[in-house]
């Protein structure tokens, strides 16, 4: 009960002071003080409410989860715009595994012609080089690996036999 009286008293004193100083006529001074008092009283009456805290971040990390994707995205490029060594190692390991499925050893100089035949000469030379690639070159490497695709070792499904006239159950 004390706060509204103090607010009204301060507003009234301010209105009298503004009016006597000649800055505003008495009507406008008292209206300004009344509006200010109402705004202050309403402001104090409003409840801020209870703010719910954010839920804790889960500590578990699952392979292939959003964390891995985010980490890979941030770790792809260096400050100079080249592809980071970590990503180059992963792409080279992928190329070695993909070529091994096709029966080609990427580390064997005798099979370099097979590597060039499957990946193309520029991709094979880039993967063998120690120079850090740019984003465009990395895209060509991945396109080359995607082009050869994984070699499937499972036979294709057998063709269905002639119809027997019966409905399958």
**What would the pLDDT profile of 21-58 be if each residue is shown by its tens digit?**
888 888 888 888 888 888 888 877 776 667 778 888 76
- Asked if pLDDT for residue 61 goes beyond 70, the answer is no
Task: Answer yes or no: pTM beyond 0.85.
Answer: no
Contact 70, 61 (CB under 8 A): no
d(CA 44, CA 31): 20
DSSP state of 23: S
Show the tokens assigned to 135.
């984003």
**Long-range own/partner contacts, residues 1-9 (CB < 8 A, 24 or more apart):** 3/41, 3/44, 4/41, 7/37, 7/40, 7/41, 7/44, 8/37
Domain ranges of the chain: 2-44, 66-148
Give 97-148 pLDDT, tens digit per residue: 999 998 988 888 898 899 899 988 999 999 888 888 888 998 998 898 888 8
Give pLDDT, residue 165: 57
pLDDT confidence tier of residue 151, bands split at 50, 70 and 90: low
Give pLDDT, residue 53: 82
- Asked if pLDDT for residue 156 goes beyond 60, the answer is no
Give pLDDT, residue 161: 56
Among 159, 141, 50, residue whose Cα is nearest residue 89: 141
Average pLDDT, integer, range 73-88: 83
Kindly report which listed range (7-11, 96-100, 115-119, 148-152) carries the lowest average pLDDT score.
148-152
């Amino acid at each position: 009960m004390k706060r509204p009286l103090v607010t009204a008293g301060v507003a009234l004193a301010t209105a009298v002071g503004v009016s006597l100083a000649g800055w505003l006529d008495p009507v406008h001074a008292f209206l300004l003080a009344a509006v200010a008092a109402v705004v202050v009283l309403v402001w104090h009456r409003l409840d801020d409410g209870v703010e719910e805290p954010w839920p804790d971040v889960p500590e578990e990390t699952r392979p292939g989860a959003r964390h891995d994707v985010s980490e890979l995205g941030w770790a792809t490029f260096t400050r100079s715009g080249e592809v980071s060594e970590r990503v180059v190692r992963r792409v080279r390991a992928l190329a070695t595994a993909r070529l091994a499925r096709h029966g080609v050893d990427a580390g064997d100089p005798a099979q370099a012609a097979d590597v060039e035949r499957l990946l193309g000469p520029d991709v094979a030379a880039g993967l063998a080089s120690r120079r850090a690639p740019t984003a465009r070159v990395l895209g060509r490497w991945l396109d080359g690996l995607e082009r050869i695709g994984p070699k499937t070792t499972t036979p294709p499904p057998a063709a269905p036999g002639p119809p027997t006239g019966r409905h399958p159950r």
